[in-house]
Amino acid sequence: MELIGKHTPTSPCVATIGTFDGVHQGHQFMVRQVVNHARQRGLDATVVTFPNHPMQVLKSDFHPQLLTLAEEKTALLKKTEIDKVALIPFTNELAQMDAYSFMRTILKEQLQVEVLLVGHDNHFGHDHKNFEDYRLYGKDLGIELIKCQELTTSTQTSFSSTEARQALLQGDLQTANSILGYPYHMQGRVVKGFQNGRKIGYPTANLQVHPHKLIPMNGAYLVSCQLSALNPNCQLSTPNSQLSTPTPPTLFGMVNIGTRPTLHNGKQRSIEVHIFDFEGNLYGTSLQISLLHRLRQEQEFDTLNALRLQLARDEKDSRQWLTTHPTLVP
C-alpha cells in the first residue's frame, strides 16, 4: 500500500473507498463530504483507491479504457482538500477478502479509519454485502458508517465514470466534460509519425498514450496543450493574446483522432496534434492535451488541398470558439 499526502504515517481518519476513475464531479462531491466530516471531528480526510482497475484482476479478458491512469487520478485527488490518498494494489488476495476482513485488516488496522462514507453504488468484499451489513460490521469494529449524499444539478442528474466513458466514445464531449467537471485530457510522449502534416502547412505532433487510456471517438477537436518543458529550439511564431506563459507553457491547437483516411496510412488510429503559432521539434517531449470542443467527425477528402482548406476552416472555428468561450478555457 502506498500512502500519499500531507502526513506519511497513518493517523485516525475519515475515509471513503472506490475506484474513482476520472475523479468526476460525483467523486469530488463525495470527497467534499469526507473532508467536512473530517474537519468537524479533527481527523484526517482519506481516499482509499486502487492504482489498477479491479476488473483487470476479476476478469482475465478485461481491457481497460480508463479516464484516468493511476498518476492522473492521484494528481486530481491531490487538487482537492483531501489529506491522504491510500493506493492499494488490487490483487487476487484482495479480491478474495470478505467485507468484514477488509474493514478489519485494511481500514481499521492499517489505515485507522474511524468514520467511513459509502456511496450509493459502492460495494467491497467478495461477499457483496450492503450498507446495513457494513454498518453492523462497523459497529463491531469501531467504525462509524455514513451514507454519502448523491450529487444532482439542474443540467446533470447522474454522475458516473461509465456515463463519461460512453459520452467520449460517442463523441459527446460536452456531456463528458460536464460529468467530469474539467476538460478530458490525455498525456503521452511525442513520437515520429508519417510527417504528412508539414507538407500542407499543418505540422503535427504524433502523441503516443498509455494502452489503457480511453481514446475518444474519431474526429477533430480543439485542445489546450501543456508541454513538460519547452525545447530551446521551439518558439511561438506569433504572439497570442489568449496564450498565458506559465511553466510549463499552455498552448492551443487542434487534434485529429483517427486513421487519416485521406492519406491512406492504414487502419491504425493515431492522435495528431497541431499547435497554433508554434515551431520546433517536439520528439521525445511529454505532452498533455485537454479536449475543449469537438469540431467535426473525421472525414476523407479527395485531395490534399481539400484537406488543407478544411484544416484552415477548423483553425478559424477553433480561434473563434476560444474568444466566445473564455470561461471554458483552462
**Per-residue pLDDT tens over the stretch 181-196:** 999 999 999 998 777 7
Q: In sequence order, which residues have a C-beta less than 8 Å from that of residue 194 and are 6 or more positions away?
A: 206, 260, 263, 265
Could you tell me the end-to-end alpha-carbon distance of the chain, in angstroms, rounded to an integer? 33
Which stretch of 155-164, 229-238, 253-262 has the lowest confidence by average pLDDT? 229-238
pLDDT at residue number 241: 38
Q: Which domains does the chain have, with CATH numbers?
A: 10-147 (3.40.50.620), 185-328 (2.40.30.30)
* Model pLDDT for residues 44-82, shown as the tens digit of each residue: 999 999 999 888 888 888 889 999 999 999 999 999 999
Interstrand relation of 44-49 and 13-17 (parallel, antiparallel or unpaired): parallel
pLDDT digits (tens, 9 = 90+) for 132-171: 999 999 999 999 999 999 887 777 667 899 999 999 999 9
Band (266; pLDDT cuts 50, 70, 90): low
pLDDT score of 8: 61
DSSP states along 196-260:
-GGGGT---EEEEE-TTB--PPSEEEEEEEEESS--TT-EESS--TT----SS-EEEEEEEEE--
What ranges make up the beta strands (E) of the chain? 2-5, 13-17, 44-49, 84-87, 113-118, 144-147, 185-191, 205-209, 219-227, 235-236, 250-258, 270-275, 278-279, 286-296
Would you place residue 243 in the very low, low, confident or very high pLDDT band (cuts 50, 70, 90)? very low
Least confident of 154-163, 180-189, 207-216, 301-310: 154-163
Position 141 scores a pLDDT of 97
> With 60 as the cut, is the pLDDT of residue 217 above it?
yes
Cα–Cα–Cα angle for 217, 221, 225, rounded to 5 degrees: 115
**The pLDDT value given to residue 261:** 72
pLDDT band for position 264 (50/70/90)?
Answer: low
pLDDT of residue 66: 97
pTM here is: 0.89
Quickly count: other Cβ atoms within 10 Å of residue 274's Cβ.
Answer: 23
